[in-house]
Structure 1
Amino acid sequence: MTRLGALVALVALAAPAVTARPAAADEVRYALVVAAHEGGPDEAPLAHAGRDARRISDTLVALGGFLPDNVVTLVDVDATRMRDALARLNARLRAEREPGRTSLLVVYYSGHADARSLHLSGTSLPWDELRNAVSGSSAELRLLVVDACRSGAATRVKGLTATGAFALPTPTEPVAEGFAILSASTLGEDAQESDAIGGSFFTHHLVGGLLGGADANGDARVTLDEAYGYARDRTVSSTATTAAGAQHPTFRYDLKGRADVVLTSLSPSRVAGRVRLPGEGRFFFHRGADADAPLTAEVANAAAGARVSLPPARYFVRWRRPERFLEGYVDVPAGRDVSLDAKTLTSFEYARLVRKGGSGGLAGSVTLLGGAAAAPLAGFDPEAHVALVGALELEPITVDLVLAYARAASSDGAAAATLHEITALGGARKVFDLGPVSLSLGVRAGVVTLVEDYALATGEGPRTRVAPAFEALGRAELGVGGPWLLALEGGARVLALEVRTDLDHSEARTPLVGWARLGLGVSFR
């Protein structure tokens, strides 16, 4: 069966001029929002279609000027139920028409589809029928939003195939006046969704834009142009590193000089509050206690003073800046403006975000440390050493690479000698983030090269031996501003040495030596 990628089409016919609010006194708005987790018999169930639909419904009611009674939300229905619901809504539109009053109809679908039809719970609704039902509505403005996919793994490919009949206008067809198409991907390109955000990339960013992320000019209104531009840029960025590759939304329309359609208003209301952002970066608002709570909104490329409208609740906020990220909470009351105060947020390096599974990208640190250790050979004083430790953060563990040099003098004044120790180790640690401090436990293994230089005492050449080494360690880190960190680590090391006991004999020894060092590092991402 031909696969249809996540297509989001906004079909606008005979668009009227709009006033400052998305739904003025002379305009009434209606919406049918449908989700189907089950598609055809060969299609795996979707996990997030219902959540996508509810986010659309909530946004339309809170910010789009839609009365709750005018938004019909159906989850896991068949084609007959969707067909009947649309017919009843069109009948309401005709019955409630008043002279001098315009109307808007939005139809949203999230689920499975192919090039010929939507797939709802084992049934099909042909594209031609859906298109005719929407375009035949008596509403002056019609918006059709379809987010359809075939599911797979955590990041699903929602392929849009250029072959086969396609009920909506294709990119090669001319666009009539007052007609607009906004799609999540181009023909022949894969659209995608992700479990990490709980839905499709495009719908996720479209909702974020409608909540305020797309308000480019700061007038507290989000227009169709602004919403598309924001969702397009964020979708391309979010999918650039996925296995399927970047996804490019498209927008084709002809409004012929009409005022741009205002989709949402960001003014506080009885069903929404407004948050003023403290600076530039990406903001994630989770409705709950932590980052595991549902993600309500992601706002990217925000400028200082930008505003985001949210339903009343307590939100866990994560603010991603270029060098560090910050976390904290904000309470959003209905009908009020609040400011997200950066002073109330806790700052962390990106290594923590990776360890939490927060998709922080590549992150790690480089630390230069100095310290002391017991010498592995008898007859030498404790060593002074320096070490360069590189760490790469992975979600379950932190991987280390250590290069170190140590030097010790002989404790026997009559036989002056110098011990040089060159160490190369690799290992892994488990890190526990406790407030501003990160504690970790781990192991490392590698080789130690020992060079005994007796030249001053006997005139002999240096004696070199290479020994395998294994160590257990603990480490503590504390951020000291910006990307800088203070590190303290210590542990015990075991070496497998062949030690000469006399001219003719040697024996295996496994000296256990303790060590500790302190240093300054820099984190990166």
Structure 2
Amino acid sequence: MNRACHWGWLTFLLLLGNRGVQGQALAEEQTPTTTRFVLAAGANDGGAGRTLLRYAVSDAANFADVMVQMGGVAEADRELLSEPDLGGFKTALKGLARRVRRARESRARTEVLVYYSGHADEDGLLLGDERLGYGELRRMLDEVQADVRIAVLDACASGAITRIKGGQRRAAFLLDTQTDTRGYAFLTSSSAEESAQESDRIGASYFTYYLVTGMRGAADVTADGRVTLSEAYQFAFDETLARTVELSGGAQHPAYDMNLSGTGDVVMTDVRRVSAGVSLADDVEGRLFVRAADRRLVAELYKPAGRAIELGLVPDDYEIYLERRRELYVAHRELADGQRLQLASADFAATPRQAAMERGGPLYAGPESPTSTSPRGRFRFEFHFGGIGPEPGAHRVLAEAAAPADELTEDSRLGAIVESAAQVQPWGTLTGLTVGYEMSRNWEVTLSWGALTSDIDEDLVTGTVEPKTLRQVRLSSVLLGARWFPLQHERLRLFASVTIGSFEGVEKGVLFGGQDPWSKSQSSFGSQLGGGIDLDLLPQVTVGVQLAYDWMARFAEDVGGRRDYRGAEFRLAASWRFGGRSQSAVREAK
């Protein structure tokens, strides 16, 4: 694996039970002598040649916060390191080991959580220009003689740590009986061959963000008010894989290496411990986004119907958005200390999607599942082809080629031949290009070019063996306009369009049976009114059908036997989108 892996993250959980775990994992439910410690470190700087991360320090703070609020960790037993060097990180680990020894001397039961977010490669953690190897890290964790040890590392090349004991990609493990566990488990956010990623949209690393969301209650599948280690990991596993499967860094597959004996699982958090919360009723269904008053996205989850979910939150003003069948709803609630709010489906009101920007990206960029085929990209490059109704006036064209204009009559002696030519030689295929720019979810501005030609060959008129073009008529247009998408459902999007611009007709050829070329051109202005249906095959690929009516001012002279080409137009189109409007700003591998 490339040691220069950048912009992303590795996560692993290390669980080691040195003796049987008796009772519940939270201080409130354990004996009064049980103590939990948390050491969280965030380092955005990975040394020379590595891009500076944005969210390593805030990820560490978020993890520490949820453990204090809901995980039974006292504020005095929480330590947060910001941008530590190698010496500072080792010193903190040694200090943690001393505090655990003092607690054990008083016969206290001890549990330790160590969290790191920052750069790493397949050999170890990168703190500035220094490296802490995985082997040395494991030895230092072994020196922390707590009854239970849980470590979370948020960095690149996560699977490398599990290879020490032969770990592999797996779905989450489940232990749900009475807690009595011995042994260890390593859990990682990705395999050794994969990059891990962080996102501007959520303002965090993917696995850490969903791990914290799960510990706030989203992962409580048993609805007992407690989130176990396996529940939190299962939630983070599913969400991380789903939200990264189509990102440029590739899908992340969490993995683990486990050697556990006994029964049960460690409870990570208790939703009932937090001072405030929101309970989502059984009838609420869809993807939920919870934003605090400072616009931080504090939780994101899919809520299925038929199961209530309680989220533990701190007192604040919240906007809770619900996306259901591509429609957006919102509930505004002020959450006070000690308050538990109940939200049912009827409490959400419909709201338009916002165009505001947040953390370098749209406020609601990408609430849809990444496996969705909804369009992605602010720019559209479209190729279209089809035909128009009005045909060139073949009688006029051929007769004009054979006789002076002042001698033309409808009863021209070429009438029978002309009739045959008119049937054989209609317009060719209309071809064109459209460049679109998406102004909002429902509006797009467009610039289109289109052209089509009609040839009348001499052999069609005279029966000669060697064909020679007698006359060519070419019609082209350049139109500026807009498309409005009023109805959007799953892969299908209906639109109406209006354009305005210039039309040009060009006619050139040779005299009938002669060699002298001639040409003429006419310009006019006009507009086009139409509509169509787009079908999204892939996030960047769309096909569609379009119908329109062309209106144009009359040419000063005939072109192709007509003064105008007003009439219906039919197109088939294929589009490619780019520019990433609905894609999160993603960086690969920390």
Partner SS, residue 87 of structure 2: helix
Q: What one-letter code is carried by the residue in structure 2 that aligns with 1:207?
A: V
1:170 equivalenced with 2:175 (yes/no): no
Q: 1:467 to 1:96 in 2, by over 3 A?
A: same
Q: In the TM superposition, what are the counterparts of 1:417-432 in structure 2 within 5 Å?
A: 423-432=430-439
RMSD: 4.4
The corresponding residue for 1:390 is: none
- Give the conservation status (yes or no) of the 8 Å contact 2:96–2:144: no
1:309 equivalenced with 2:312 (yes/no): yes
- Greater radius of gyration (CA): 2
The corresponding residue for 2:559 is: none
Q: What one-letter code is carried by the residue in structure 2 that aligns with 1:511?
A: S
Q: 1:498 to 1:356 in 2, by over 3 A?
A: farther
222, 228, 231: which is aligned to 2:236?
Answer: 231
CA separation in 2, counterparts of 1:356 and 1:511? 44
1:218 equivalenced with 2:226 (yes/no): no
**Deviation of 1:341 (Å):** 4.2
**Deviation of 1:294 (Å):** 3.8
- Give the conservation status (yes or no) of the 8 Å contact 1:274–1:309: yes
Q: In the TM superposition, what are the counterparts of 1:26-425 in structure 2 within 5 Å?
A: 26=31, 27-97=34-104, 101-114=108-121, 117-148=124-155, 158-159=156-157, 169-171=164-166, 177-186=182-191, 188-196=192-200, 197-267=202-272, 269-270=274-275, 272-276=276-280, 279-288=284-293, 293-300=295-302, 302-304=304-306, 305-321=308-324, 323-326=325-328, 328-331=330-333, 333=335, 334=337, 335-339=339-343, 341=345, 343-346=348-351, 358-359=365-366, 393-400=375-382, 406-407=388-389, 423-425=430-432
Q: 1:36 to 1:355 in 2, by over 3 A?
A: closer
CA separation in 2, counterparts of 1:325 and 1:441? 23
The corresponding residue for 1:385 is: none
Q: Which has the higher contact order (CA 8 A, sep 6+)?
A: 2
Q: In the TM superposition, what are the counterparts of 1:15-34 in structure 2 within 5 Å?
A: 16-19=21-24, 23-26=28-31, 27-34=34-41
Q: Compute the TM-score of the two structures, normalised by the length of structure 2.
A: 0.65
CA separation in 2, counterparts of 1:82 and 1:147? 15
Q: 1:441 to 1:48 in 2, by over 3 A?
A: same
**Deviation of 1:402 (Å):** 5.1
**Deviation of 1:264 (Å):** 1.2
**Deviation of 1:181 (Å):** 1.5
Q: 1:401 to 1:287 in 2, by over 3 A?
A: farther
Deviations 1:95-128 (A, max 9, x none): 3448775221111112234555533344454545
Unaligned segments of structure 2, at least 5 residues: 169-180, 394-408, 411-421, 457-470, 513-517, 540-590
CA separation in 1, counterparts of 2:187 and 2:448? 54
Q: 1:488 to 1:167 in 2, by over 3 A?
A: closer
Partner SS, residue 433 of structure 1: coil
Q: 1:275 to 1:444 in 2, by over 3 A?
A: farther
478, 481, 485: which is aligned to 1:470?
Answer: 478
The corresponding residue for 1:490 is: 498
Partner SS, residue 219 of structure 1: coil
- Give the conservation status (yes or no) of the 8 Å contact 1:159–1:191: yes
**Deviation of 1:508 (Å):** 0.4
The corresponding residue for 2:12 is: 8
Identity %: 24
CA separation in 1, counterparts of 2:248 and 2:259? 35
508, 514, 522: which is aligned to 2:527?
Answer: 514
CA separation in 2, counterparts of 1:514 and 1:167? 65
CA separation in 2, counterparts of 1:94 and 1:472? 75
- Give the conservation status (yes or no) of the 8 Å contact 2:392–2:427: no
Q: 1:472 to 1:73 in 2, by over 3 A?
A: same
**Deviation of 1:260 (Å):** 1.1
- Give the conservation status (yes or no) of the 8 Å contact 2:217–2:311: yes
**Deviation of 1:497 (Å):** 0.8
Q: Compute the TM-score of the two structures, normalised by the length of structure 1.
A: 0.72
Partner SS, residue 146 of structure 1: strand
CA separation in 1, counterparts of 2:533 and 2:199? 38
Partner SS, residue 511 of structure 1: strand
Unaligned segments of structure 1, at least 5 residues: 149-157, 366-392, 453-462
CA separation in 2, counterparts of 1:394 and 1:480? 14
Q: What one-letter code is carried by the residue in structure 1 that aligns with 2:450?
A: G
Report how many residues are paired: 462
**Deviation of 1:449 (Å):** 5.2
Q: 1:131 to 1:328 in 2, by over 3 A?
A: same
